[in-house]
A and B are shown apart, each in its own frame.
Chain A
Amino acid sequence: MAAASPPPRRLRGSAGASGASLVATAAVAARFLPVWFATAALFVVASVVAPHALGNTSWSFVLPDATVLAVAALGQMLVVMHAGIDLSTPGVVSFGGNLIAGVGAGSDHRLAPAIFACLGLGVAVGLVNGIFVGLLRLNPLIVTLAVGQIVLAWSSKYSRDHVTNQPLVPSGLSSWATSKPLGVSTVFWTGAALTIVVALVLRYTTGGRRFQAVGANPRAAWIAGLRVRTHVVLAYAAAGALYAVAAVLLAGVRQSIDPAFGSAYLLAPIAAVVIAGAALSGGLASATSTWVAALALTFLTQMLVTMGLSAAMQYIVFGAAIVAGMVVSGDRAALLLGRWLRPVTPPPQAAA
């Protein structure tokens, strides 16, 4: 007698095709929604303990600064989607800023070449990282750190030779960065537009979907005929370009370049990406959630300063908030939801 066929496996909680679609949507939302709720909760807490942090003066600093971090984090996000990491961000931002001041030499006529030089630097550094990681298969943590150090050294020399005596960025850039259409910083609008563009490209273009597919499952993507290594190289190059954009925006906000320019962007972009719900092991990520995470981190820092806490307490509270954020992060939420949704195999039925 033929053995009975195994009972069909079913997803716990599913109810047919529409149910599967809902489950898939829930799984994605579970990964990326928590940061939105956490940020809203942060604003509620701020309204009670530090209402001044929600005032116009605070936003005049927070929004542009958060946007710069968000743009850098978008670059990091592209790399993380491919299970990589990029520690060359401070180097690119630093050197990019120095190029804005050095090439610009305080003249609006030289602003365009300065911006192109900055963008060129970002792409060049990104391509170097991409070649090392994507083609030569070197460890991204080590190689991007090394490349970043080389770029920082180059930046330091360039700064000493060309920028220290003329650290101001061209006035056209600083005027643009400090203008406020509809009462909100131009830098914010630029960053928001860039975030939306990245989100739309990733989601609704063929290239973007391929990019996501390679990151989600490189082996399957390779089998499907996609050029995995080329996508990795392009991820780092695009990331480098975004770091350069962040440098341009930051230069406009700061209006002058100092030796520590860019130093704050080593781990902060990575923190923003992870808190937004992306997994360091690669896969899907959300540009808009990354932007929100950057806003939350910047606002939290500013809120603690506004509260007048001592430096030690600021570090403690900030660290505790990050840990709390990680506990409720989208990555963990997705993991828990995945466990709940995993296929349930009913116990085998006795043979007739």
Chain B
Amino acid sequence: MRRKRLIVVALAIAAAALTVAATASGGGGGSRTSGPSGVVGGAKMIGSGGGFGEIYKAPASTLTHALFHANLLPSNKTARDIALASLGRSTKKVNYALALSCWKNNGCSTGTGGKLTVAYVEGFGENTFRQMSKMEFILEALTYPQIGKIIYRSAHSDLNQAIADFKSVIAQHVNAIVTYPDFGDAMIPVFQEATKAGIPVSTYAWGYVTGPGKNYTTVVGEDTCKLGKAFANVMNTKVKSGNIAFLGGFPGNPLSAGWQTCEQKALNPNINVVANDPTNWDPSKVQGIVAGILAKTPNLAGLSYEDALFMSQGGYTAYKAANIPYQGVFTYRTDEAGMGCLADKLKDPKLQIYYFSAGNPQIRLALTADMMKLAGAKIPPTIVFPIQLQQQTKRDMCLKGYPGTASGTSLIPLSLLHQMYP
């Protein structure tokens, strides 16, 4: 028996040593030290004027990088000024080592001695899109010397935790909150509480909650109804007739509901939507759901979804497992490099991909809107970007040097991105 105990202990030590050694050696690549190399302002500047602590100007090259075209700005003048101010700030030099540390540690003191505290609070933060948005928020916050502290919270898909996180930052007397409301209108009470306490709350990526301008400051994003209509236009012209499917995120989230409702209405009568399933933005679920859809409709002509990357992972795996060619018309809201690289690898002319921007930089506008509100500006209840879909064959999502999970329209400098994901 004593020998058996010794064997158990030896086994435990060996297992632990093996695991620790593996984690220490796995993946390779330490952090890279490199200077800032983000999108640098070009010679041509768009915009003019300023106010409320902002300059309403941004380099045309920055706008093109983030929006596909420099003229794809909101039509409302104040919203446009906020966009120019915010995106213009992205070219300011900031301490990237501090930004990286802040990102890894979910918050930090900026070291400027500024008196303001800003918080980014979200219901779910555990995918690359959210983590990149978090870095965009941090980079934007670091351009404000008056911001002395940055706080980050993720509720890990737990509504009660999300509400508790919000109440926590309110209790800490933060000066501004940016959020993505994964639980939709369930967040209204805490939004109202923050607004009543004088804390501006803004959302991004069309995180629409009832009462923008009243319950909270503003929502930044694209017009999801127009996004859905743009998807429908692609399906009507490219699919013409046949079966397509919709995939969405968490059940009832405003982003998915927005574009799906409008796409459904705009489709021509010969196109049938055979499935509309939530995926919780989880690629594992995507595989199961796509497998189920293909089981019933193996000749699926098209699919609309927010997330290009998850389809390139879970969705593509489902097609492969079912021995069905990965062909059809796909419309996506995001532009991760991984989907573009997969399309380049497959080189299949029957695979047609149309995409919009993931919109990571939209979070910068949300923070700038909050800061301008603190400075006394009147912020429009919505800051809406126009829609223009891109075609993969004409604008390749597979950008050299970009991690597969990263969006090519992000304003995070490539060198910093490589340090985030070595």
Q: Which A positions have Cβ atoms within 8 angstroms of B?
A: 50, 52-53, 55-58, 60-62, 64-65, 99, 102-103, 105, 113-114, 116-117, 119-121, 123-124, 127, 156, 158, 160-167, 178, 227, 230, 233-234, 237, 253-256, 258-261, 263-264, 301-302, 305-306, 308, 310-312
B350 contacts the other chain (Cβ, under 8 Å)? no
Interface size on B, residues (CB 8 A): 62
> Which 3 residue pairs are nearest across A and B when measured between Cβ atoms?
A162-B27, A305-B292, A117-B22
> Are B322 and A61 in contact, CB atoms less than 8 angstroms apart?
yes
Answer whether A53 and B284 are a contact pair too, CB < 8 Å, given A64-B321, A127-B11, A230-B4. Answer: no
Q: Which of B12, B127, B287, B298 has the most CB of A within 10 A?
A: B12
Cα separation A41 to B287 with both chains bound (whole Å): 26
Contact assessment for A57 and B27 in the assembled complex, using a CB-CB cutoff below 8 Å? no
Is the pair B422, A165 in contact by a Cβ cutoff of 8 Å? yes
26 contacts between A and B (CB under 8 A): A53-B292, A53-B295, A57-B322, A60-B322, A99-B19, A99-B26, A114-B22, A116-B22, A117-B18, A117-B22, A117-B26, A123-B11, A123-B15, A161-B422, A165-B405, A254-B313, A258-B313, A260-B126, A260-B282, A263-B282, A264-B284, A302-B295, A305-B291, A306-B292, A311-B251, A312-B251
CB neighbours (8 Å) of A258 from chain B are 127, 282-284, 310, 313-314
Chain A residues with CB under 8 A of B22: 99, 103, 113-114, 116-117, 120
Additional 4 contacts, C-beta under 8 A, given A56-B322, A158-B26:
A99-B23, A103-B27, A256-B317, A305-B288
| Complex Cα spacing A259 to B284, Å | 10
Query: Inside 8 A of B289's CB, which chain A residues have their CB?
Result: 305
A306–B288 Cα distance when bound, in Å, is: 10
Chain A neighbourhood of B11, CB < 8 A: 123, 127, 237
Nearest CB in chain B: distance from A312 CB, A? 7
Cβ of B296 under 8 Å from chain A = yes
Which of A116, A127, A306 is B296 in contact with, Cβ under 8 Å?
A306
Interface stretch of the complex, out of B53-61, B72-80, B271-279? B271-279
Interface hits, B107-147 → A, CB 8 Å: 126-128, 131
Q: Out of B29, B127, B275, B422, name the residue touching A259 (CB < 8 Å).
A: B127
> Which secondary structure characterizes the binding site on chain A?
helix
State how many angstroms separate the Cβ of B420 from the closest Cβ of chain A.
8
Most central of A102, A124, A165, A166 by chain B CB within 10 Å: A165
Contact A105 to B293, CB < 8 A, known contacts A61-B288, A164-B405, A230-B5: no
- Chain B residues whose C-beta falls within 8 Å of the C-beta of A99 in the assembled complex: 19, 22-23, 26
List the B side residues contacting A120 at CB < 8 Å.
14-16, 18-19, 22
Q: How far is the CA of A209 from the CA of B128 in the complex (A)?
A: 48
A263 to chain B minimum Cβ distance, whole angstroms, is: 7
How would residues 1 to 15 of chain B score, 1 for a CB under 8 Å from any chain A CB and 0 otherwise?
100110010011011
Q: Which chain B residues border A311 with CB–CB below 8 Å? A: 251, 277-278
Contacts of B310 in A (CB 8 A): 258
- What's the minimum C-beta distance from B167 to chain A, rounded to whole angstroms? 22
- Is B318 an interface residue when CB atoms closer than 8 A count as contact? yes
Residues of A within 8 A of B49 (CB): none
Which residues of chain B come closer than 8 Å to A156, judged between CB atoms?
126
Task: Determine whether B207 belongs to the interface, using a CB cutoff of 8 Å to chain A.
Answer: no
B403 at the interface (CB under 8 A from A): yes
The answer to the question of B52 belonging to the interface, with a C-beta cut-off of 8 Å to chain A, is: no
- B324 interfacial contact with A, CB 8 Å: yes
Q: Is the CB of B27 within 8 A of A302?
A: no
Give complex CA distance A319, B422 in Å: 43
Residues of A within 8 A of B320 (CB): 178
In the complex, A186→B215 CA distance in Å? 54
Q: Is the CB of B323 within 8 A of A60?
A: yes
Instruction: Say yes or no: is B25 at the interface (Cβ < 8 Å to chain A).
Output: yes
- Identify which of B1, B19, B291, B323 gathers the most chain A CB atoms within 10 Å of its CB: B19
Within 8 Å by CB of A227, from B1, B284, B324, B418, lies: B1
The residue in chain A whose Cβ has the minimal distance to the Cβ of B286 is A258
Known: A60-B323, A127-B12. A254 touches B274 (CB 8 A): no
A64, A124, A233: residue with the most chain B Cβ atoms closer than 10 Å: A124
- Which residues of A have CB within 8 Å of B251? 311-312
Name which residue of chain B comes closest to A126, CB basis: B15
Are B294's CB and A102's CB within 8 A? no
Q: How many angstroms from the CA of A17 to the CA of B280 in the assembled complex?
A: 58
Nearest B residue to A302 by beta-carbon distance?
B292
Known contacts A61-B322, A308-B296; is-contact A103 B25 (Cβ 8 Å)? yes
B266 to chain A, nearest CB (A): 21
Query: What A residues does B322 contact at CB under 8 A?
Result: 56-57, 60-61
Q: Which of B250-288 contact A (CB under 8 A)?
A: 251, 274-278, 280, 282-285, 287-288
- Nearest A residue to B127 via CB reads A259
Name which residue of chain A comes closest to B28, CB basis: A105
Q: Which residues of A contact B23 (CB under 8 A)?
A: 99, 102-103, 117, 158, 162
- Which residues of chain A come closer than 8 Å to B128, judged between CB atoms? 164, 259
Cα distance A274–B228 when bound, in Å?
44
